[in-house]
Amino acid sequence: MIYSLIKKILFQFDPEGVHNALKTISHVLPKNLLHTFCSYSHPTLLTSIGETPLVSPIGMAAGFDKNADSADLLWALGFGFCEIGTVTRLPCTGNPRPRIFRLPLDRSLINRMGLPNVGVDELIKRLHKKTFHLPLGINIAKTPDTALPASNKAHELNEAVEDIVASLNMLHGLGSYTVINLSCPNTNDPRIFETEQNLEVLLNSIGHISPIRPILLKLSPDLEIDALRKTVDLAIKHDIDGFVIGNTTNSRDSLTTPAETVARIGRGGMSGAALKMKADTQLEEVFEIVGREKILIASGGIMSFRDLLDKLSRGASLFEIYTGLVYEGPMFVKRLNRALAEYCEKVGVKNYLELVGQDLRHALSC
């Protein structure tokens, strides 16, 4: 394939540099022509998130388009929606470069970006400036390093809650859905909202405002089962609409990449194929609790159509990719959409949503 050759060249360069260069080049690409070649639509793929209709259940995960710069490109590549951000109340520069690393043997990435973004004020200006072809979700997190010293836990929590609530209030009326990112592994802040008591304070505060619904929580795949269940139960209690499952992982289990290479890279969240088993297990656990009553967006390890079916069978109704695009190329979304539509026709369903949570092991023979 042509992309296999292109990828060999691109992988010789710094990943973040390649990403930025491609974004710059994309501004001069003919988007309508690109959309004609890279998109695929079919009635079996029609769905929605909240009240927003989607032509495809496959979206771009948060992290690719942090500042609403690339939504037109993602539309041209056939995505059904895009989760922009993570955005924070104040602008962030993120961690020092290099901060993205490839693990080709494992078809994975490690990043320690640290939430670089232009901040809520600038993002609002960008969202007002143009009309987007693609429905946008907005992923929000606490501004890194805004908390007071750990010796003052009450002030630390209050400041963190106020920071997120301020972002939600300012972004009211923008986007098609909201994601609260509880689980970024790439900042120096403690995961303050991964304790039941602190999350209760945050969710109580959110309940007094009107963020764009649906509102979802993005979970860490590294949560222990007991903590995961408590988080989900608390979210249900506070009428949260669903979950993004999940974020990147700090785990380095079962990698083919030599241990010394991984050690040299150091800290950061891992995504891609190496994350799939962890993300699948968490998705299955959450679906067992919420069933079809909540929106479940699967994010983590979708590198093939088989991977997408695994997420569908475990309860996801929407799917987000990022690392899969890096390794599979610009036609990846089209291939996934086509394969899902063809599979629906083969098994005789009118819409893929009929398959959510179903045993799809027979797909191996399709």
Query: Alpha-carbon torsion 20, 278, 273, 58, what sign?
Result: negative
- Give the global pTM: 0.95
- pLDDT score of 132: 94
- pLDDT score of 244: 98
- pLDDT score of 127: 96
Q: For residue 242, what are the contacts with CB-CB under 8 A and spacing of at least 6?
A: 214, 216, 217, 290, 294, 295, 296, 297
Structure-token pair, residue 91: 């602008």
Cβ pair 319, 280 in contact under 8 A: no
Cis ω for the linkage preceding 86 (within 30 of 0): yes
pLDDT in tens, 21-30: 999 999 899 9
pLDDT in tens, 60-85: 999 999 999 999 999 999 999 999 99
- pLDDT score of 152: 60
198: Cα separation from own chain's centroid: 23
Rounded Cα–Cα distance for residues 66 and 280 (Å)? 25
Residue 92 is classified by DSSP as B
- pLDDT score of 363: 59
| Helix residue spans in the chain (DSSP H) | 2-10, 15-26, 31-38, 71-76, 120-129, 153-170, 196-206, 225-237, 259-265, 276-290, 305-313, 323-328, 332-347
Q: Which fold has domain 29-365?
A: TIM Barrel (3.20.20)
pLDDT in tens, 142-177: 998 754 444 466 778 999 999 999 999 999 889 999
Residues of the chain with pLDDT under 50: 147-151, 366
